[in-house]
C-alpha cells in the first residue's frame, strides 16, 4: 500500500487532485473504493482507509455520517451522527421532501474522526 501511496504523492505533486483521478481511472494507481473525503470536499479514491489525494486516514468501522443542511440567509446546521450512509441518505431525502424550497444545501458527509 505504501508504494501505491508514494506513487500517488508524486502524481499529486505534478498534477494535483484531478491527476490522481485520471491515474486511478487509467489503472496507474490502485484504489479499493471512491468515498467522500471531508478535507478534499469531494468523492475521492481510497486504498484501504487512506485517501489517495490528501492522505487522510479514515477509521474503517468508526466512520459516521452527518448531514449538512441550511440556507445562506439563516445559516447551516449539522444533523447526526448516523451509523450508516444509508440512514443519513434516508434522513436527507426526507428533509429535502419537506423543506426543499427552503434549503440551499442538504448534503450527506462522512465524518472521518467522530468523537475527536
Q: Where are the domains of the chain?
A: 2-58, 61-111
Residue indicated by cell numbers 477509521? 59
Does 83 or 17 have the greater pLDDT score? 17
Q: Is the pLDDT of residue 81 over 60?
A: yes
**Residue whose grid cell is 487509467:** 26
User: Model confidence at 75, in pLDDT bands (50, 70, 90)?
Assistant: confident
* Count of CB atoms situated within 10 Å of the CB of 24: 21
DSSP string, the chain: -HHHHHHHHHHHHHH-HHHHHHHHHHTSS--SEEEEETTTTEEEEEETTEETTT-PBP-GGG-EEEEEEEETTTEEEEEEEESSHHHHHHHHHHHHHHHTTT-SEEEEEEESSTT-
Q: What is the pTM of this model?
A: 0.51
pLDDT at residue 69, as a whole number: 78
Amino acid at each position: 500500500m505504501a508504494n501505491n501511496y508514494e506513487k500517488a504523492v508524486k502524481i499529486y505533486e505534478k498534477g494535483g487532485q484531478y491527476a490522481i483521478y485520471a491515474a486511478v481511472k487509467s489503472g496507474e494507481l490502485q484504489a479499493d473504493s471512491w468515498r467522500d473525503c471531508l478535507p478534499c470536499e469531494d468523492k475521492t479514491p481510497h486504498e484501504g482507509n487512506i485517501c489517495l489525494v490528501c492522505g487522510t486516514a479514515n477509521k474503517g468501522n468508526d466512520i459516521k455520517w452527518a448531514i449538512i443542511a441550511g440556507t445562506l440567509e439563516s445559516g447551516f446546521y449539522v444533523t447526526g451522527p448516523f451509523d450508516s450512509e444509508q440512514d443519513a441518505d434516508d434522513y436527507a431525502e426526507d428533509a429535502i421532501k419537506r423543506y426543499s424550497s427552503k434549503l440551499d444545501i442538504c448534503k450527506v458527509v462522512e465524518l472521518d474522526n467522530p468523537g475527536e
